[in-house]
Chains A and B, each alone.
Chain A
Amino acid sequence: MDVLSSLFYGFSVALQPENLFYCFVGSVLGTLVGVLPGIGPVGAISILLPITFKISATGSIIMLAGLYYGAMYGGSTTSILVNIPGEAASVVTCMDGYQMALKGRAGPALGMAAFGSFIAGTVGIIGLMLFAKPLSAFALDFGPHEYFALIILGLTFVTYLSHGSMLKAVMMACLGLMLSNIGLDPITSSPRMTFGILELFDGVGIAPVAMGLFGIGEVLINLEQTVTQEIIKTEFKNLFPSRLDWIQSKWALVRGTLVGFFLGILPGGGPVLASFMSYGLEKRLSKEPQKFGTGAIEGVAAPESANNSAASSSFIPLLTLGIPPNVSLSVLFGAFLIHGVTPGPLLLKEHPDLFWGVVSSMYLGNVMLLVLNLPLIPMWVQVLKIPAKLLYPLILLFCLVGAYSMNNSVFDVMVMIVFGVLGYLFRKFEYEAAPLVLAFVLGPMLDLNLRQALLVSEGSFLAFFTRPISAVTLGLAALLLITSVMPFIARKVAKYREVVEDQ
């Protein structure tokens, strides 16, 4: 099948009433999650995972994917109107979006965010469609050495791009790897770290871990704080950006889309990094960089287009290589596995209905989101007025019901609570949970591929460097590690020179 006929086939799947409904539900929930501060797409996808048991694999992935990219749309609303980002990828939109709202230009800011998101999201899907097939075919030649190297590169990127201490990020990745080893060994079937607990023989589920870290943990952090939200009182009569707005934003939209697309594919990248990078790039390229932070429309257009483009393109490594590039998609990876589908190079061949159905649903989802985000903005503003004292108990209840219904087991609920407390303490002690979750998901693959590679090469590590793809990938990972250590060494050398000169 060529791309067009595959797309046509995908639309025939996505336009089935059931799948269309799930796409709509995912888009609405995504917007809601994006609008509401306190719960992000990771937590929401994890909470919804158990509900998808009753839905077909295609319907489930369509809904969860809709939730993921829908959150990117919704996030801008809170950033612009309340100066509180609904989710991490919209943090940077606050800088100019809120300033525009203060100046009475909330309408064009919201409009540009929605149109920018739509344009970039659609371009991202076209890229996904064009790249997926050749990349899948290429990945069929990958062996355990290549997969091991790719996973190492992904984990290195995640720790390299962490917001806080890189040391702590690497520690979290190690912890994730160790946790992923709980359960039966895939090669010898011997129980590992199960402590005689029957429920641990299947390992710890991704849903209780993610729900705990990103759902319960987030609520616990918010419960001890008093947040006051001030919503800008503005009339939303003029949501369409003016001609001048479009002229000022056109290159920001193009660059944001491109930056987002490539950073989305990158392991460890994704919408959050893309929004920051595109904002930084726009500011650097601007003839009036002093305008940024005071209400420049380019400061809204660039990050909003980047995060949507990245949300679409981040499906490329997940669907073609079977490697989730960020934490949200690692939970989505769990959803694939729950439905007995393994994402990777064989997905296109074995489940073309799922692959093309999901890709086509993204086009439909983007149209739905544009429709939802423009005329319904006043409604989303009302949603923002839901008091936290009502919202947080509801999130906790969804987590409890979700964790229980996975296996009808209280054990999963307990696991979720333990990870909830851990997530809360991680936030307190400045540890990032994202490397842990990504390593937790990639851990079994890493373990299996490393051991298979060593078995094949009879214990020689040299084989990782004699195969071109694995050598280049590991080389990149090493380069990243070196560049992250370089500033530290440079500082030490400078300090040493100062001491020597003083003496």
Chain B
Amino acid sequence: MNKRDLVSGLFWLAIAIFIFTKALELGVGTLSTPGAGFLLFCSSILFGLLSIVLVIKAILHGGGQKGIAELWHGLTWSNVVITVIALVLYCLVLVKVGFIIATTAIMVVLYAVGRMKAWVVIASALVTVALTYIIFHYALQIEFPRGPFRW
């Protein structure tokens, strides 16, 4: 059994059902006067049917035994987890603490993922943020969140 296709197929099937219900809520209309949900209705049906085919294929044929855990076997997946958490936290604090503090913090984390020496990490982060601010704020006149210190 191909567990990868099975899990992803079931996930997509759930999405298809959800969108199908939303399309009905929006109003499918008629063929001569199609409503706002017409394309969503058609594409969700096709998407759902294809998801079912994928699930059936995964159970019947599968293309060999394909587990999910093997996808991350022998890889430093912790780098990905740390990076994604850092990116999400960046979004959450950007407006509150301002661009300079939030970006310096995330750059420290991102450079640290590369296993560099502490002083290199901090220096690289500071230089990167300074250059980014000069280019984007002063040269391209992009307004960034200023945070509590107004810079």
Contacts and interface: CB of A to CB of B under 8 A. Distances in A.
Interface string B75-108: 1110110011001101100110000000100110
A189 to B, nearest CB: 9
Contacts of B113: 223, 389, 393
A interface bracket (residues with beta carbon within 8 Å of B): 35 or more
Contacts of B77: 224
Given A174-B47, A420-B87, A394 B128 contact: yes
A410 interface: yes
Contacts of B111: 389-390, 393
B140 to A, nearest CB: 5
Interface in A160-209: 167-168, 170-171, 174-175, 177-178, 181, 185, 187-188, 190, 192-193
Contact of B36 (A174, A192, A421, A431): A192
Contact of A187 (B12, B36, B47): B36
Nearest to A388: B114
A389 B39 contact: no
Contacts of A420: 84, 87
A413 interface: yes
Contact of A171 (B47, B72, B124): B47
B114 to A, nearest CB: 3
B110 interface: yes
A185 B28 CA distance: 12
Contacts of A401: 132, 136, 142
B88 to A, nearest CB: 6
A408 B87 CA distance: 17
Interface string A397-413: 10011001100101001
A238 B122 CA distance: 43
Nearest to B94: A410
A393 B43 contact: no
Nearest to B113: A223
A417 B43 contact: no
A429 B75 CA distance: 15
B115 A389 contact: yes
A413 B132 contact: no
Contacts of A88: none
A446 interface: yes
A364 B85 CA distance: 44
B91 A413 contact: yes
A219 to B, nearest CB: 8
A389 B121 CA distance: 10
Contacts of A216: 87
Nearest to B102: A400
B53 interface: yes
A102 interface: no
A451 interface: yes
Contact of A174 (B32, B43, B103): B43
Residue picked from B5, B8, B94, most chain A C-beta under 10 Å: B8
Interface residues of B, number: 61
Nearest to B35: A188
A430 interface: yes
Given A168-B54, A181-B39, A390-B114, A455 B72 contact: no
A390 B47 contact: no
Interface in B12-56: 12, 15, 19, 22, 26, 30-40, 43-44, 46-47, 50-51, 53-54
A401 to B, nearest CB: 6
Contacts of B30: 459
Given A174-B47, A454-B31, A224 B72 contact: yes
Contacts of A193: 19, 22, 40
A57 interface: no
B71 interface: yes
A277 to B, nearest CB: 26
A225 B73 CA distance: 11
Interface string A48-84: 0011001000000000000000000000000000000
Nearest to A174: B47
A223 B34 contact: no
B43 A177 contact: yes
Residue picked from A167, A181, A387, A421, most chain B C-beta under 10 Å: A181
Contacts of B47: 171, 174-175, 178
Nearest to A180: B39
B60 interface: no
Interface in A426-444: 428-431, 443
B59 to A, nearest CB: 14
What are the nearest 8 A-B pairs in CB distance?
A389-B114, A459-B32, A459-B31, A393-B110, A174-B47, A185-B36, A224-B75, A223-B79
Given A190-B26, A454-B31, 14 more contacts: A51-B140, A174-B47, A175-B12, A178-B44, A188-B35, A192-B22, A216-B87, A223-B76, A392-B110, A393-B114, A394-B128, A404-B144, A405-B140, A431-B8
21 contacts: A50-B142, A167-B54, A171-B51, A174-B46, A193-B40, A219-B83, A220-B83, A224-B80, A226-B76, A390-B111, A393-B114, A396-B83, A397-B106, A397-B132, A408-B142, A417-B84, A428-B71, A429-B5, A454-B34, A455-B32, A459-B30
Interface of A: 50-51, 54, 167-168, 170-171, 174-175, 177-178, 181, 185, 187-188, 190, 192-193, 216, 219-220, 223-226, 387-390, 392-394, 396-397, 400-401, 404-405, 408, 410, 413-414, 417, 420-421, 424, 428-431, 443, 446-447, 450-451, 454-455, 458-461
